[in-house]
Amino acid sequence: MKRVLLITTGGTIACRRTSSGLAPALSPEELLAQVPDARTFCEVEAIAPLSIDSTNITPQHWLLLARLVEENYSRFDGFVICHGTDTLAYTAAALSYLIQHTRKPIVLTGAQRPIGQEDTDARQNLLDSLRYACSGDSGVCIVFGGHVIAGTRARKTRTKSYNAFSSLNFPDLAEVRDQRVVRFIPCPLAGEAVFTRCLNSRVMVLKLTPGLPAGAFPAAGRLCDGLVIESYGVGGIPDAYLEELDALARAGKTVVLATQVPQEGSDLSVYQVGSRVKERYRLLEPYDMTLESTVTKLMWVLGQAQDQEEIRRLFYTPVNYDLLF
């Protein structure tokens, strides 16, 4: 029988109602008591390093979760991390970079309603996740609503519905259907797992809006080492901000020019407003990456390298299906 480590962090799945709203309160043992069928196909050991609303998740928590997987990697066949849905896609992306080439499934899941409610999706999500963790598949992924989504491709696209997560610009890896894992994308060949223990959290996102004050650029630059600019359409920078980009380049900031549009990605070569800035400033372009992956990958890259050429190489090296170009 496969052995699975359940790591709980709080979130809606573990919430109880209080006078001021839902708050995480349930222990791992209380969660497992809601899914007694899990005992028929796996042995589960559980730990609870956190009990927080995922709104409060930070990069330090990602490092903690990666370290827990690393410390227990040899003892278990798979891992399930219960997590709040609001920042679940960021955590899944971050763990995809912190834990690479894993031969074991590292599954993140959660729920839209607490596990104690009669109409909850939590019990099915937790059972599906434990089943996928026993499947022998590999890599970091999200299991939610029966869908198995690569950790770098997920986006929370609905705030209340049970089908809360979508896979952007890439198909689902698999489904968990009728207690079976139906795989659509072959598992990549994996060697020895590679764990990294450093992130540079000085990364910011600046979203362009018509009339955005030019002073937003130097203000962001003072607070970050890496800046992700969410531009319009396939990507471009308004003329009014070119001097600010010059200053960011002189200051040695790493700038990524992304798009606000969730589907189909960027292409800075299409319009003059994009091609000129890419050539002039050697901006990084995330193409079809999600914002969650772009942000967390930049944190990971800047935690490993300072040389601009090495930063470019690492950023453009595909990890866990994050980049197709």
Q: How many CB atoms lie within 10 A of CB 281?
A: 16
Q: Distance between CA 110 and CA 90 in Å, rounded? A: 13
CA distances to 147, 174, 184, 186, 209 from 132, rounded to whole Å, are 11, 10, 14, 14, 42
Among candidate residues 12, 87, 294, 296, the one labeled active-site is: 12
- Which amino acid appears at position 133 of this protein? A
CA-based nearest residue to 11, from 59, 117, 82, 66: 82
Q: Reduced to 3 states, what is the DSSP secondary structure of residue 11?
A: coil
**How is residue 124 written in tokens?**
């099915």
209 is known as an active-site residue:
no
Q: What letter does residue 226 receive in the DSSP assignment?
A: E
Q: Reduced to 3 states, what is the DSSP secondary structure of residue 176?
A: strand
Q: Are 105 and 141 in contact (CB under 8 A)?
A: yes
The radius of gyration computed from the CA coordinates of the chain, to the nearest angstrom, equals: 20
Cβ neighbours of residue 8 closer than 8 Å, sequence gap 6 or more: 14, 27, 28, 31, 46, 47, 48, 50, 51, 81, 82
Q: Distance between CA 8 and CA 265 in Å, rounded? A: 33
CA-based nearest residue to 155, from 207, 197, 93, 99: 93
Length of the chain: 325
The string of DSSP letters for 305-320 reads --SHHHHHHHHTS--T
Q: Distance between CA 63 and CA 258 in Å, rounded? A: 25
Q: What letter does residue 160 receive in the DSSP assignment?
A: S
CA-based nearest residue to 200, from 258, 254, 260, 278: 254
Catalytic residue positions, numbered = 12
